[in-house]
């Protein structure tokens, strides 16, 4: 099953709408609550990253009985040093973003902790794509 | 629609002869457990959480509470009634508690006890529990909330406080007390006067691997009428009734909004009303809530003052309870007695989620059905009119893929098919009759 969502940069009030819709779908499929939690956390962080750091993006979710594959693609500044971005506590978030409670530098590490497969492809000046996979069993 | 057999005790029943199939109940059910078919409302029992929202809404009183027959109390020599503080608040302030208690005795009970007697000792246990548990702890007090979490928020089941609610602790205290008097178990009947149907379900099929010692549940609405009638008829007092009214201000206020949360240390919230509770649980499930230690969640607006079997206005009831509490001390005399045995017996086992099987138990099939349902939803108008007998377009789509409804049940699609000449008028009328009943189409003179 394929679901898609659009994400607008800077729109913090709608950040989380993709993850809560995916959550609903997974609940209706009776997926194990602990797995749903991992999906929601990973997707939410990735979604917020587009809102906080990129201009716009889209999310494609593919659900099968083996698991969920999430593909997030954005148009944005890209990540110059992925290794650094992946370290806990590293953040380039602006003061305004921090004031909204984001910018602890925990998003990417959290995605990594909660997923079975996680890859980042990024081109500086163009955009970033994430591939997140979480297995159901 | 086919309704599955259930393992859950139901506290409500729809009386077919009275139900006019108006669908008011269907629109308020928080778990979409109701449908209208053949002109009657039907409950999908596995999904029902016994919140009573449907009962509140029913204009013809076709929804019946499955309480116990009052005469059953006379099967016992010793008849104890556990009375919640909301009961006394049903009456106006000029009717004294003494008079009410005398009437209860006259009606057949031998002893009366305040349900919230166990609060004083329970609260220490709650604080101890909250210190060590997964946060935020969700109070186990309101059975409708416990069931809501089990059915709609399975991932939050581990947050439900695994301590028994106060009625059970008070009931156990009575069991013990009468055993100490040397009274044989079968001679003691413990009855609970309930302000809601959730508590009926909770006593009859409790969660967390527990069996209740309560022998029967009395409907507060029914009992209020019985007591008030006796009051009006000025019946004389001929019988002695033992009144154990040891209760503190904490106890009286506990079932009101904020009454529990304010006794718990740390950051606590009290949220009442089904919609507010659901909205908050959604946030909690999305991990959007941080640093809260304890949640007092109650299904009814104004908590138990707004219980569905309450007779009086809920704000007046709550005020009356606050008023009564202000005349009482902070702790009552039996508290040490309760403490002696409290912690040994008040823990319950793991509470299991009660996931709604929306599409199929088999994941592959569930995904296929869900995709079909999503396709169907695109055809439906999305206005949730309810004319199909399902609470929303989404629910109809689900029912169709589960073969529990027909795509032509949608009046919009049907009109389209009729227009295209793909469906005859007779067929269309037949479909409507199968949902709303034949009588619905007899012309009425208003
Ligand atoms: N989609 C993206 N486009 C551009 N830069 C990104 C993107 N995602 C992450 N980054 C960069 O990687 C850094 C680390 O990201 P991470 O999500 O771990 O932390 P954060 O977003 O700064 O803070 P937090 O997620 O804890 O609120 C960000 O500060 C940002 O510089
Ligand atoms: S009691 Fe509540 S959950 Fe059960 S059918 Fe009525 S409204 Fe729905
Ligand atoms: S708030 Fe009180 S009366 Fe209402 S369902 Fe919960 S326990 Fe029952
Ligand atoms: Mg981030």
Domain boundary among B19, B36, B66: B66
For ligand 1, what atom is nearest to the CA of residue A102? 27
User: Is B351 among the domain residues?
Assistant: no
User: Is B353 among the domain residues?
Assistant: no
Nearest to B170 by CA among B242, B111, B117, B241: B117
Q: Do B363 and A25 touch (CB under 8 A)?
A: no
User: Is B352 among the domain residues?
Assistant: no
Across the strands, what pairs with B269?
B295
Number of domains present in the structure of chain B: 3
Quickly tell me which residue has 């507060």 as its tokens.
Answer: B220
CATH number at residue A124: 3.30.565.10
Please tell me the pTM assigned to this model.
0.86
Enclosing domain of residue A59: 2-135
B234 plus B333 within the same structural domain: yes
User: Is B243 among the domain residues?
Assistant: yes
* pLDDT tens across the length of chain B (446 residues): 333 334 456 788 899 999 999 999 999 999 999 999 888 999 988 889 999 999 999 999 999 898 888 999 999 999 999 999 999 999 998 999 999 999 999 999 999 999 999 999 999 999 999 999 999 999 999 999 999 999 999 889 999 999 999 999 999 999 999 999 999 999 999 999 999 999 998 888 888 878 889 999 999 999 999 999 999 999 999 999 999 989 999 999 999 999 999 999 999 999 999 999 999 999 998 888 889 999 999 999 999 999 999 999 999 999 999 999 999 988 888 888 888 876 667 888 888 888 778 899 899 999 999 998 988 888 888 889 998 899 999 999 999 989 899 888 888 888 888 777 777 777 777 777 777 777 766 665 55
Length of chain A: 137
Element (H, E) at B180: helix B166-180
Judged by CB atoms within 8 Å, which residues 360-389 of B form the interface with A? 361, 363-364, 366-367, 370-371, 374
Tell me the best of B195, B201, B217, B312 to mutate to test the pocket of ligand 3, counting ligand atoms within 8 Å of each CB and taking the most: B195
Residue in A19, A25, A30 nearest the CB of B357: A30
Set of chain A residues whose Cβ sits within 8 Å of the Cβ of B287? 37, 40-41, 44
B59 plus B194 within the same structural domain: no
Burial B21-44 (b: 16+ CB within 10 A, else e): bbbbbbbbbbbbbbbbbebbbbbb
Both tokens of B19, joined, read 């139900």
User: Is B350 among the domain residues?
Assistant: no
B126 plus B102 within the same structural domain: yes
Element (H, E) at B270: strand B268-272
Element (H, E) at B79: strand B78-83
B118 plus B16 within the same structural domain: no
B319 plus B438 within the same structural domain: no
Q: Are A19 and A46 in contact (CB under 8 A)?
A: no
CATH number at residue B48: 3.30.70.20
CA distance B215 to chain A (A): 36
The torsion angles phi and psi of A6, rounded to 5 degrees, stand at: -110, 145
Strands, sheet with B268-272, edge to edge from the N-terminal-most edge strand? B137-138, B294-298, B268-272
B293 plus B380 within the same structural domain: no
B118 plus B195 within the same structural domain: yes
Q: Do A37 and B363 touch (CB under 8 A)?
A: no
Enclosing domain of residue B438: 358-446
CA distances from B292 to A35, B140, B284 (A): 23, 16, 10
B102 plus B239 within the same structural domain: yes
Number of domains present in the structure of chain A: 1
B60 plus B75 within the same structural domain: no
B353 touches chain A (CB under 8 A): yes
User: Is B163 among the domain residues?
Assistant: yes
B165 plus B307 within the same structural domain: yes
Q: Do A28 and B155 touch (CB under 8 A)?
A: no
Q: How far apart are CA B65 and CA B54, in angstroms?
A: 11
> Distance, CA A122 to ligand 1 centroid (Å)?
12
Q: Residue B297: CB within 6 Å of ligand 3? A: no
B323 plus B404 within the same structural domain: no
For residue B397, the Cα-to-chain-centroid distance in whole angstroms is 28
State the DSSP string of B49-77: ----HHHHH-TT--EEE----GGGGGGSS
B75 plus B18 within the same structural domain: no
């Amino acid at each position: 099953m394929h679901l898609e969502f659009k994400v607008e940069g800077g729109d913090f009030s709608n950040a989380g709408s993709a993850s809560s819709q995916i959550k609903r779908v997974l609940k209706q499929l009776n997926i194990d609550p602990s797995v749903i939690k991992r999906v929601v956390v990973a997707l939410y962080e990735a979604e917020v990253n587009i809102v906080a750091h990129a201009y716009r993006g889209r999310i494609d979710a593919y659900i099968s009985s083996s698991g969920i594959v999430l593909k997030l693609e954005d148009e944005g500044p890209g990540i110059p040093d992925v290794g650094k971005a992946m370290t806990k506590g590293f953040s380039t978030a602006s003061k305004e973003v921090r004031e909204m409670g984001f910018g602890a530098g925990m998003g990417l590490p959290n995605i990594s902790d909660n997923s079975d497969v996680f890859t980042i492809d990024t081109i500086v000046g163009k955009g970033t794509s994430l591939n997140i996979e979480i297995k159901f069993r | 629609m086919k309704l599955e057999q259930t393992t859950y005790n139901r506290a409500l029943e729809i009386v077919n002869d009275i139900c006019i199939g108006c669908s008011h109940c269907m629109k308020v059910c928080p778990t979409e457990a109701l449908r209208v078919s053949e002109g009657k409302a039907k409950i999908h029992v596995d999904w029902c959480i016994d919140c009573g929202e449907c009962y509140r809404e029913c204009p013809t009183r076709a929804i019946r509470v499955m309480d116990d027959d009052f005469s059953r109390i006379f099967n016992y020599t010793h008849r104890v009634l556990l009375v919640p503080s909301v009961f006394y608040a049903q009456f106006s302030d000029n009717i004294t508690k003494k008079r009410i208690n005398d009437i209860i005795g006259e009606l057949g009970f031998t002893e009366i006890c305040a349900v919230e007697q166990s609060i004083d000792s329970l609260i220490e246990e709650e604080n101890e529990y909250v210190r060590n548990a997964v946060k935020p702890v969700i109070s186990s007090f309101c059975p409708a909330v416990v069931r809501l979490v089990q059915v709609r928020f399975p991932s939050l089941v581990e947050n439900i406080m695994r301590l028994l609610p106060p009625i059970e602790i008070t009931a156990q205290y009575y069991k013990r007390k009468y055993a100490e008097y040397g009274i044989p178990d079968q001679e003691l009947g413990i009855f609970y006067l309930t302000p809601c149907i959730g508590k009926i379900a909770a006593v009859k099929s409790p969660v967390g691997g527990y069996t209740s010692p309560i022998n029967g549940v009395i409907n507060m609405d029914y009992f209020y009428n019985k007591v008030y009638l006796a009051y009006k008829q000025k019946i004389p007092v001929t019988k002695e009734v033992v009144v154990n009214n040891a209760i503190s201000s904490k106890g009286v206020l506990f079932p009101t909004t904020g009454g529990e949360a304010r006794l718990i240390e740390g950051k606590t919230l009290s949220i009442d009303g089904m919609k507010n509770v659901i909205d908050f649980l959604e946030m909690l499930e999305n991990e959007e809530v941080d640093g809260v230690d304890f949640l007092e969640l109650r299904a009814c607006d104004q908590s138990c003052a707004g219980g569905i079997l309450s007779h009086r206005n809920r704000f007046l009831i709550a005020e009356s309870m606050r008023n009564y509490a202000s005349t009482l001390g902070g702790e009552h005399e039996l508290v040490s007695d309760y403490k002696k045995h409290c912690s040994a017996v008040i823990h319950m086992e793991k509470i299991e989620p009660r996931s709604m099987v929306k599409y199929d138990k088999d994941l592959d099939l569930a995904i296929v059905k869900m995709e079909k349902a999503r396709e169907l939803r695109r055809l439906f108008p999305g206005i949730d009119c309810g004319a199909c007998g399902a609470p929303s377009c989404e629910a109809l789509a689900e029912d169709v893929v589960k073969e529990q409804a027909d795509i032509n049940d949608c009046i919009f699609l049907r009109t389209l098919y009729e227009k295209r000449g793909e469906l005859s008028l007779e067929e269309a009328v037949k479909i409507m009759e199968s949902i709303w009943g034949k009588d619905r189409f007899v012309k009425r003179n208003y």
